[in-house]
Amino acid sequence: MSRAVTEQRNPATGEIDQLPTLAILRLMNREDAGVAGAVGQSLEPIARAVDAVVERLSRGGRLIYMGAGTSGRLAVLDASECPPTFGVPPEMVQALIAGGERALRRAAEGAEDDREAGRADLAQLGAGALDAVVGIAASGATPYVLGAMAEARQRGAVTIGLSNNPDSPLSQAVDMPIVVVTGPEVITGSTRLKAGTAQKMVLNMISTAAMIRLGKTYGNLMVDLQATNDKLRRRAQWLVAEATGVSPDEAGRLLGACGGEVKTAIVVQLLGIDAATARARLQACGGRVREALYRDPS
Active site members? 81, 112
Q: Is 20 exposed, middle or buried (0-12, 13-18, 19+ CB in 10 A)?
A: exposed
**What are the backbone angles phi and psi of residue 133, rounded to the nearest 5°?**
-110, 125
Total Cβ atoms within 10 A of residue 101: 8
Amino acid found at 156: G
DSSP secondary structure letters along 179-244: E----S-SSTT-TTTHHHHHHHHHHHHHHHHHHHHTT--BTTB-TT----SHHHHHHHHHHHHHHH
Sign of the dihedral through C-alpha 228, 234, 237, 242: negative
Q: Of 18, 13, 42, 17, nearest to 30 (Cα)?
A: 13
- 143, 113 in Cβ contact below 8 A? yes
Q: Of 65, 47, 53, nearest to 130 (Cα)?
A: 53
